[in-house]
Structure 1
Amino acid sequence: MINTLTIKNNLIYTNGYVKMSSPKTIESQRSVYISNFILSLLKTLHHKQLENKSNAKEFYKDNMFDGKRYDLIMTWCSGKYIHPMLYTNKIKKVLKAAKINKNVRFHDLRHTNATLLLQQGTDLKVIQERLGHKDIATTANIYSHVNKSMQKAATEKLLNILKD
C-alpha cells in the first residue's frame, strides 16, 4: 500500500539498556497511512542517511540488537540509533523553558493524537487501528480524553435534535 508506514518493532530504553522489542500485541504491528508531506520528509531523511553512510564508509554504525541488523528511521550522522529518551528529555526542556510544570513523556503524545482526531470527528475504530490497540475499549477509556469543547458540541447537537 502506498503512503503507509509499517510499524514492526520498538526501540525502547528499559532497566538501563536500549533494546529492540516487538510491539505489545499483534494489532500493534501495523501499517498506518501517512500524508504525502510526511512521506516526503521520510524520503528526504532516508536520502540523508544514505549520504551519511557513503561519507562515513566503514565507520558507519550498523544498529545490531540480538544479532539482527535494523535499518532505523531516526539515526545520528554516524548511523547510530538516537536514544529513545532524547525526545522525552527535549520535551522536558521545552516545558521548563515555557514554565509549564508538567511531566510529559514522548509517549504521551499518543493521548494528544487521539484527542485531536476525536475532536475532528474521526471514527473511534480508525483511531484504535492507528494507535494499534487490540481492544477499542483501550482507545476509548485511556486515550480519548474528552475536553469541554467536545462536551459543548455534543450538548448543542442534542439540543438541535430536541428542538425539531
Structure 2
Amino acid sequence: MPELHPAVEMDTSPAACGVQEHGSTYRPLVILRPPPGHSFILESTKWPPARRIRVALECLCSGEQLLGHTCFLHASGGQLPTDQDWYLMDTLCTGSYLDAKKVTRWVQTLVLSAWLLLPQSRHCQLTALPWGKSCGFRLSGASGLHCSIEMALAVQRGCSGACLSLE
C-alpha cells in the first residue's frame, strides 16, 4: 500500500489553520508515495479538462532475484493476480486510476485504527467526517473543545517536489 508522508513544509497561513471559540481547524497536506513495484503517473485530458493519476506496475526483478523471488509483474504477465484483493489496484483504484473516494476511505480507516492504539484515545474521541474526496476528522475532548482536521491528500509530481491533489 502507499506510504503517507507529511509535506516537507507545513503551511501555517490563516487558510491552513483556523482558531474558533471552541476549537481549531488544521489543514495539513499529506503526500501519498507509491509502494515498491508501483508508480503514480499524471495523465491529463484536454476535453473535458481532467487530471487523473494512473497507477503503473514496475519491474523489480533485480531486487526480487536477490531474494529468490520472481517479480510479480513478470510472473503475472503484467497483471496483478486476481485472487489477492489486498493489492493497491483493487483497494484504491477504479481501473488503473487512483480513486479519490477510495483513497480517502482507506486513509480514514488507517488513521482511526492507529488512533485507538494511542493513550490519548481514552480521553478524546476521533471521528471521521464524510467529506467526499478530502479526508476529514473531528477530535473531541470531554471539556467540549474540539479540533477539526481536513487532510489534503496529494501525490508528488516527479522529482520537482510539486504535488497534485487528489480532490
The TM tier, using the shorter chain, reads: under 0.3
- TM-score w.r.t. structure 1 length? 0.26
Q: Hey, which of these two has a bigger chunk of helix by percent?
A: 1
Between Structure 1 and Structure 2, the one with more strand by share is 2
